[in-house]
Amino acid sequence: MFKTGTYAGDDSVNKAIAHGLGKTPKLVIIRQVFVGSTTRGAFTFIIVQAAKVFCQAGGANSELAVTTPDSTNFYVGNATSYDNSANFASASVTYFWTAFA
């Protein structure tokens, strides 16, 4: 079972994103898309058991802690780097996600 959706970043810590699965997701994959660009973007992976956002972008990797996902929400945003924790506030960025149960 999986669900999909989008959200806008807001530069906040532990932003709750409702996933609609009814149970804790095992994996959430987020694609950061820049409006008007077909070549820029970062893949961000959230591994539920670790409660961290793992990001690979531009040849660099990061691992930032967030709140552990639950049966209602998964969480994004770490003050160390909102961009690398899937919660960058920019009118030109949209986040597309897929949550897997």
The domain total for the chain is: 1
Q: Outline where DSSP puts E strands in the chain.
A: 2-7, 15-18, 27-34, 41-47, 52-57, 60-65, 73-76, 93-100
Read off the DSSP letter of residue 35.
T
Name the residue range of residue 25's domain. 2-100
Tell me what pLDDT residue 41 has: 61
17-59: per-residue pLDDT in tens? 999 999 999 999 998 888 766 555 667 788 777 889 998 776 7
66-88: per-residue pLDDT in tens? 999 999 999 999 999 998 999 99
Tell me what pLDDT residue 71 has: 96
